[in-house]
Structure 1
Amino acid sequence: MAKYRGPVCRLCRREGEKLFLKGSRCMTEKCAIERRSYPPGQHGQGRQRTSDYSLQLREKQKLRRIYGLQERQFRGVFERAERQTGVTGEALLRLLESRLDNVAYRLGFGASRREARQLVSHGHVTVNGRKLNVPGALVRAGDVVAVRERSRNLVTIQAALESVDGRGVPEWLELDKAGFTGTVRALPTKDQITLPVNEQMVVELYSR
């Protein structure tokens, strides 16, 4: 599947709710959902047919777009979640939240997951003192995620950290804003992951 390079606000409109793909812009009146809360395209305001499959598909697409994964990547994460013990849906969310690009976003190093992913890919982030440029790498409890010292004067990082208080840092992470450092206290539980997604529908879709 080709990588999507179009306007990300179009994705939010397709799902009918904010996915917070553009950072602080999503909190303002400029958000596309605030102005046009219907799907894009010439038939966007027409009557939409629904079925069990379409509802499950929309939940999967929503979750995939929130974390910015292509279908093959997302399927790989799901298969890994299936192999773990416990509830598959909860394991899926835990794996997605444990990705390095998501942790960098949650700590406020990037204004959006897309921005955080770019920072990781360009080598601006370290894990336990070592540079790691793989966005999909999984962090573990006790890991220390930080911005490289030579990158701390980047305007994008400083601006993102200034606005992180507005959305808050999850309780499973600990942020030292002055030191551009965050610590993974523990892997997140289902109750600590707040997303507008029904993960059980995703499991049902892949179980067909």
Structure 2
Amino acid sequence: MHGEKRKRKTLGEYALQLREKQKAKYTYGLLEKQFRKTFDEAARRKGVTGENLIKLLEARLDNTVFRLGIAPSRQAARQLVSHKHVTVNGEVVNVPSYSLKPGDVIGMKNKSAANTSLTSNVRGKNAQFSWIDFNQAELKGTFIAYPERENVPENIKEQLIVELYSK
């Protein structure tokens, strides 16, 4: 009796926008402050803010280490970076939010590459991503270019995030 008359409310515009922002934050493993900073940087850049946001999120070092297949998850990639196992252009970088530029070479520190417990997880699954290239033998990858929106597999409606932050 009671359940038949009750209708489930459809989510409002704000709820949809908030849900999309939360999904993006959790997917990339960011806290609100980091996510907001990334959004502000995307808004400052020329071009479409939503696409810029996706490009900046994909250009993060921890995300690229994950995309290269060096780590099984973004959290594991973040830990590898913060524990100084990852190099960018031959220099050790321990900042997961480090923003890569096209042409940057990402690799494992020599000592870390010799550690089988770290290298056993390397899958090298980059074949599906056109913006990165991975050399399995050398454990090195190259960030070729910023990805185009249609090439990023994450199902995020970035326009809703832009609308939320534009309020």
- Normalising by the residue count of structure 2, what TM-score does the alignment of the two structures yield? 0.90
Partner of 2:5: none
Q: Which runs of 5+ in 2 are unaligned?
A: 1-7
Match of residue 108, structure 2, among 117, 141, 147:
147
Change (3 A) 1:169 1:110: farther
Q: 1:103 aligns with which of 58, 64, 74?
A: 64
Say whether residues 1:183 and 2:124 are aligned partners: no
Higher relative contact order (CA 8 A, sep 6+): 2
Give 3-state SS (helix, strand or coil) of 2:163's partner.
helix
Cα distance in structure 1, aligned partners of 2:96 and 2:133: 20
DSSP-derived class of the 1:160 partner:
coil
For the residue of structure 1 that corresponds to 2:72, the secondary structure is coil
Q: Which residue in the other structure is 2:3 paired with?
A: none
Is 2:29 the counterpart of 1:68?
Answer: yes
Over 3 Å counting, the alpha-carbon distance change for 1:187 and 1:48 in structure 2 is same
Q: 1:29-85 deviations in whole A, cap 9, x for unaligned?
A: xxxxxxxxxxxxxxxxxx575111101100000000011000011001000100011
Corresponding residue SS for 1:194: coil
Say yes or no: does 1:126 pair with 2:82: no
Q: CA deviation at 1:184?
A: 1.2
Percentage of identical aligned residues: 44
Q: Tell me how large the CA RMSD over aligned residues is.
A: 1.6
Partner of 1:207: 166
TM-score by length of structure 1 reads 0.73
Question: Equivalents in 1 of 2:82, 2:41: separation in Å?
Answer: 23
Deviation at 1:169, TM superposition (A): 4.6
Query: How many equivalent pairs are there?
Result: 160
4+ residue runs of structure 1 moved beyond 4 angstroms?
none
Q: 2:41 matched to which residue of 1?
A: 80
Is the radius of gyration larger for structure 1 or structure 2? Answer: 2
Name the aligned partner's letter for residue 179 of structure 1. E
Q: Distance in 1 between matches of 2:163 and 2:81?
A: 32
Cα 1:48–1:182 shift into 2, 3 Å = farther
Q: Does 1:56 align with 2:17?
A: yes
Pairwise CA distance, 1:119? 0.3
- Structure 1 unmatched ranges of 5 or more: 1-46
48 and 101 in structure 1: CA distance in 2 versus 1, 3 angstrom threshold: farther
CA distance in 2 between partners of 1:146 and 1:205 (Å): 37
Q: Which residue of 2 aligns with 1:157?
A: 118
Does the 8 Å contact 1:169/1:175 carry over to 2? no
Cα deviation 1:158-191 (Å, max 9, x = unaligned)? 23313x44x8551110000111100111111112
Q: Do 1:107 and 1:169's aligned partners in 2 also have CA atoms closer than 8 Å?
A: no
1:35-54 residue pairs with structure 2 within 5 A?
50-54=11-15
